[in-house]
Amino acid sequence: MTHDEALATIKAAIEEAVPGADLTAVSPDEPFRERLEMDSLDFLNFLELLSGRTGLDLPEQDYASFTTLNGCAGYVTARTGGTLGASS
């Protein structure tokens, strides 16, 4: 999965976990949980959706990687054999 594909998948999972989330208001390197008013349950729902869409196990010890859109995309890209920064 490329970085751009990962980012699209992440955004779709966030939009499903937090209906009405305005992802245009979030820069790629900004922590998104507070900006999108995601509570712990929303965040766990997002991770579950992301895991289902990517086929990746997302262990709790890696949750710190999921604070920014670029951080999430980097994590997913690295674990799906993609190339960071590549586009589709």
State the pLDDT at residue 82.
Answer: 73
Instruction: Please state, rounded to an integer, the average pLDDT across all residues of the chain.
Output: 92
Per residue in 29-63, pLDDT (tens digit) is: 999 999 999 999 999 999 999 999 999 999 999 99
pTM attached to this predicted model: 0.88
- Using a 10 angstrom Cβ sphere, with 0-12 exposed, 13-18 middle and 19 or more buried, the burial of residue 66 is buried
Number of residues written out for the chain: 88
